[in-house]
Structure 1
């Protein structure tokens, strides 16, 4: 298969339905493998970069800043990687993010060997590019999916994060022991991160063929009439009530989950909770985030994203109430609250992403997805920074109550002001190739 120019539709006979289904299965299988590798190594980045920074500077504040810069790097790279995918296809955008992240992880290792904190910060920002690539991967499996199977494609991909989230953190200790005496303290896991992200990037280049986005353009699913412009694309995307609704829910549930989950171990440690019980509670939370993915995706396709958006916000509000009522160190109540938080996140994050993808037909779909990722990561970074400040001033219960108010306010707005947009009114003003199935655009 050949292409005439980078980012232009490939020239080849269009696949029939059976061939297209085989290609889509191959795309999903490829991204499952890639995301499993990514999740496995990326789970080590945040805690380990903090340890490296603290060992280098002796400052807890500097350690937290280095960890936050990984999130900031995700924000910085989200729109450029989306633009690159729009121009040259998913292989270019996603692989560039992972390979840039590998380079950033290598810089972190080098920074420790030369004791350079500024170089560590540059490396942390570079690692954030891999985070953006991981966000974009969930959209790659939707490029060739039928509109009534977008949710299922995303939901299946969510399972790839389970193994990495569970195995990744404990794996760091074993990797550190292997590197003892050969590398600076705490850097062996980051060397493994660099190798793993490089492998993920190369796997994208090798296995993601044909490129799903370029093939979709060849089939007329995404018409590109002119070179994409980030500012114009963002403005046009956010003009759509459906896209705004999807992004609002994704941003809210993700930021609330990050804020409440990050502060939960501290809330537990102030009581009688042991490190083992804290780890078990976080494990339950992680499982509740990713295990429901395929079911949520299936329901998004069958009944539409809108009921799931409402349900997710309701569950998140319940989670905030439970967490606000939980005493310090009470593993049962905190565990229940975090389980509800994870389930609400799963429903809202996936259904909101499905809504953005379904509504943003035409040439701006990829940039609308990039806008969602940019805003999600920006809000998550700010939420993570503010969570500690709010918890210090108002306590963990005050943080939970604050998020309850935000979540309920958005829930009321969505229930009372449900968008009613004709199917032909998409983000770029063009009619979709196929009407989205049950995405909640009808009043």
Structure 2
């Protein structure tokens, strides 16, 4: 069990080079962990729904099982944030990954004994890993200087590239290896269980000192009056800056999920090969993750407000292009999805920076957990409703709907003065000598285990 670090020593000041070394180690550790997570998690794909369909013979049962992965993430987002606030990032992130490993193993068992209830329970457990993966991006900001929060989060986006490229084809190879010894479609989940267990153990071993506990011991994450989880959550959501950041993150993520999920169907209505569809989706994925470090750098230099406006503007353009694209037009759909990915990268990262910069301590951790909760809830609902809306309105109607939502939010953001969108940046002390009136922040990093 982790213990709270001792009080800071006001006598000598902070060893900033040592602190930066710790921060670099944290970033590298999270990069490695997230690369493992994205690689194995990308292997799950639609496999839960395929297993459920074999069990129940029902498309409804298959869709429900797949949706429970998102529901698992929704259910544990706040508890994992509360655990991190109390015990540190290692406890919160590792718990989510290990729960995901247990859930993946349960999926294998459920298919072996042909138990649909066990499959649903396993899907919920897999969702816990999704929540932990989202929370991990905030761990790199705990010790970051105030002017490097965006860059610290942006560099993590590259960890997703490996998974998005290698994960799906790797699943097919693993399934072939497991053929004959494991139930159909479960061999990838056995690999996912092992991979998530490795990711959880890597967090426990490599994420030392715990960045949140270390930041707290230095006065960068000050603990004032401790609140229970519900009170801390309510207090964080009272902040209008946090609400604005959550609104942007939720909107860009849900719009991206809805339009991306329905794009292959829109393309399939024309004479388009599966290879062409794969290339279009690949370009979209690259546009989501490749710009991360640049977006993070610009967010630090210019502030999150211009990036929020830019991200929403690019996404509105993407929705317009997709609304105008004929069925099967790979050029226009590819352009629209590429713009969608770039807009998501700018809006999602800038919104996350805004949430992180707007508060401090326990309230910051709970605000981050609230953001993950609403993102996953909206993504699950968006994925479920996108098919219904596309069937009723067509893909162009779905795109016009999201164009209207994004433009409305863009006007709302533009109506707020830039200075009002940036809360008190409490993520880090200045990168130099202690400023007058600041909390003393001397700490021995080796003791914060």
Is the shorter-chain TM-score for this pair beyond 0.5, marking a shared fold?
Answer: yes
Distance 1:420 1:326 in 2: 38
Offset, 1:9: 2.8
Q: How does 1:78-117 map to 2 (within 5 A)?
A: 78-117=77-116
Match of 1:233 in 2: 232
Q: Closer, same or farther in 2 for the Cα pair 1:12/1:231, shift >3 Å? A: closer
- SS for the counterpart of 1:369 is helix
CA shift at 1:424, angstroms? 7.8
**Cα distance in structure 1, aligned partners of 2:231 and 2:113:** 43
Where has structure 1 moved over 3 Å in runs of 4 or more? 10-15, 418-426, 431-436
Conserved 8 A contact 2:84-2:91: yes
Contact 2:144–2:428 (CA under 8 A) maintained in structure 1:
no
Describe how 1:242-261 pairs up with structure 2 within 5 A. 242-261=241-260
CA–CA separation in structure 2 for the residues paired with 1:153 and 1:432: 12
Seen in structure 2, the aligned counterparts of structure 1 residues 104 and 10 have a Cα distance that, compared at 3 Å, is: farther
Note the C-alpha offset of 1:226.
3.9
Report the counterpart of residue 381 of structure 2 in structure 1.
382
Structure 1 gap ranges (5+): 437-443
Shift in alpha-carbon separation, 1:222–1:267, aligned structure 2, 3 A: same
Q: What does the per-residue CA deviation read over 1:70-99, in whole Å, with 9 as the maximum and x for residues that have no partner?
A: 011110010000000000000000000000
After TM superposition, give the deviation of residue 360 of structure 1 in Å.
Answer: 1.5
- The 8 Å contact of residues 145 and 430 in structure 2, kept in 1 or not, is answered as no
- Structure 2 match to 1:398: 397
- The CA distance in 1 between the partners of 2:226 and 2:125, in whole Å, is 26
Paired position in structure 1 for 2:172: 173
| Separation in 1, partners of 2:380, 2:254 | 8
| 2:435 paired residue number | none
Q: TM-score, normalised by structure 1?
A: 0.93
Name the residue aligned to 2:447: none
SS state of the match for residue 361, structure 2? coil
Counterpart in the other structure of 2:340 = 341
Using CA pairs under 8 Å that are at least 6 residues apart, name the structure with larger relative contact order, 1 or 2. Answer: 2
What secondary structure does 1:193 align onto?
Answer: helix
The answer on whether the counterparts of 1:316 and 1:340 sit within 8 Å (CA) in structure 2 is yes
1:9 corresponds in structure 2 to: 5
Quick check: 1:159–1:293 contact (8 Å CA) kept in 2?
A: yes
Greater mean alpha carbon deviation, residues 354-363 or residues 82-91: 354-363
Q: What is the deviation of 1:230? A: 2.3
In the alignment, what sits opposite 1:441?
Answer: none
How far did residue 231 of structure 1 move?
2.0
Segments of 5+ residues of structure 2 without an aligned counterpart are 432-449
The whole-number CA distance in structure 2 between the counterparts of 1:423 and 1:264 is 35
In 1, the alpha carbon distance for the partners of 2:234 and 2:418 equals 18
| Residue in 2 that maps onto 1:439 | none
Instruction: Please give the secondary structure, in 2, of the residue aligned with 1:364.
Output: helix
**What secondary structure, in the 3-state scheme, does the structure 2 residue paired with 1:46 have?**
coil
Deviation for aligned residue 1:242: 1.4
- Root mean square deviation, CA, Å: 1.8
Q: Say how many residue pairs are matched.
A: 428
Q: Distance in 1 between matches of 2:273 and 2:321?
A: 21
Cα offsets for 1:87-115 (capped at 9, x unmatched) = 00000000000000000000000000000
